[in-house]
Amino acid sequence: MSEIDFEALGRCHHLKGKINDTCHKRDGAFRDIKNKYHAGSNPFDAVYEIDMAFFHQKFKELDEANTELTILVNEYNQWAGKAGERPIRWIKSN
């Protein structure tokens, strides 16, 4: 039976919680952006005004959460092998 690296296991467990929270932050910022934008069907009838300050703030939140998530996942993946955990895969968006 192989030895369990309890430090690595503990770090992975801790990082999983932080990754989960950060994913929710990133998803929430994107959802807020998506829900706030309204595309009109006919610009000659009405044009929706855009609150650019809102979008800048939400994009900043999205960017910060994405950066934090990248750091957390990379750190998790460094410990995963030692803890006997599967690494988290990165999937590129199109």
Return d(Cα 1, Cα 3) in angstroms, integer: 7
The pLDDT tens digits for 35-78 are 998 888 888 888 889 999 999 999 999 999 999 999 999 999 99
Instruction: Extract the tokens encoding 32.
Output: 């807020």
Q: Note the pLDDT tens digit of each residue in 2-12.
A: 688 999 999 99
pTM score, two decimals?
0.86
Question: Which CB contacts under 8 angstroms, 24+ apart, belong to 85-93?
Answer: 85/9, 85/12, 88/19
